Structure 1
Amino acid sequence: MSSQLISLVNTDRIIGKHVFGNLYDIDPKVLNDKDFLHNLVLEAVKIANMKLVEIKSWNFGGKKGGVSVIALVEESHIALHTWTEYNYATLDVYTCGENSNPQAAFEYIVSQLKPKRYQMFYADRSSE
């Protein structure tokens, strides 16, 4: 997929751009570093030209522990969830902002987590 998403600009409808995916074989130390992941998502908000409302991060212990980071932005959200036992993460970047770029946020996070492989999907969630 190219690094630019097709711009969907029409003032008579809601613009919905959703980039999401799965990241595999990531260093478990990175996946369990709440501060690093929090700052990573915070920077992705800026890169995507989104306006932060609030960001929260949680560590989850136990056998399938990991971290979740949720950034609520005026345009929608970025959600990152990690599972250290599986060296795995899911990433969800959704925006209804005409000038925001969810793919830029997704690609930035992938570049910093350095998975051995990943899947990226795009859904147009605009109104008709």
Structure 2
Amino acid sequence: MAVQQNVKKGGREAGGDLIVGKHVYGNLYGVDEEKLWDEELLKDIVVEAARVANMNLVDIKTWKFTGFHGGVSVIALVLESHISIHTWPDYGYATVDVYTCGANSDPWKAFNYIVLKLKPRYYIVHYADRSSIPGYTESEKR
């Protein structure tokens, strides 16, 4: 891509700023039901995930929804964007979303930490490059 030739390390391109956006999100299956109901545990996991991924926590909120199809939602606002976990304990299921802006934070580290702590039987993970120049974060890794 011709425009990538103008990209310089440090987040600048000729003619303006570059937004480096990295989005890791996925589904966790076969997670222990007790963990998925534990609002404090999930909150602690998200706080530590932000730390290991070099994110700056601004605020964190949790909600517990009771009854069948209920669960817990944890949403952390970080300077770099956000981390969220939504759970459906009756199904042993959770979704995880980690989105960061900037070259200094690593959403993969946060996602992997959450998976490590929740111990799903299996999971599916996706990555989206949300940079202002598509492909920048991938080419940066080479």
TM-score by length of 1: 0.91
Greater relative CO, 1 or 2 (CA 8 Å, sep 6+): 1
Which residue of structure 1 lines up, in the alignment, with residue 120 of structure 2? 115
Cα shift at 1:50: 0.4
> Partners of 2:10 and 2:105 in 1: how far apart?
12
Alignment of 1:1-128 (within 5 A): 10-11=11-12, 12-128=17-133
After superposition, the CA RMSD in angstroms is 1.1
Whichever of the two has the greater Rg, that structure is 2
Give the aligned length: 121
Query: Cα offset for 1:98?
Result: 1.3
| 3-state SS of 2:45 partner | helix
Moved over 3 A (4+): none
Output the amino acid matched with 1:74: L
Q: Distance in 2 between matches of 1:32 and 1:23?
A: 15
Residues 9 and 15 in structure 1, CA contact (< 8 A), matched pair in contact too: no
Tell me the distance in 1 between the aligned counterparts of 2:10 and 2:106.
Answer: 13
Gaps of 5+ in 1: 1-7
- Hey, what's the Cα distance between the residues in 1 that align with 2:117 and 2:57? 20
Distance 2:98 2:10 in 1: 19
* Residue deviations 1:43-81 (CA, integer Å, cap 9, x gap): 001001000110001111011111000000000000100
For the residues of structure 1 that align with 2:124 and 2:10, how far apart are their CA atoms? 27
SS of the residue corresponding to residue 86 of structure 2 reads: strand
Quick one: distance in 1 between partners of 2:56 and 2:111?
16
TM-score, scaled to structure 2? 0.83
Distance 2:64 2:11 in 1: 40
Higher helix proportion (structure 1 or 2): 2
1:29, 1:85 → 2: CA distance? 10
For structure 2, the residue ranges without an aligned partner over 5 or more in a row are: 1-8, 134-142
SS at match of 1:126: coil
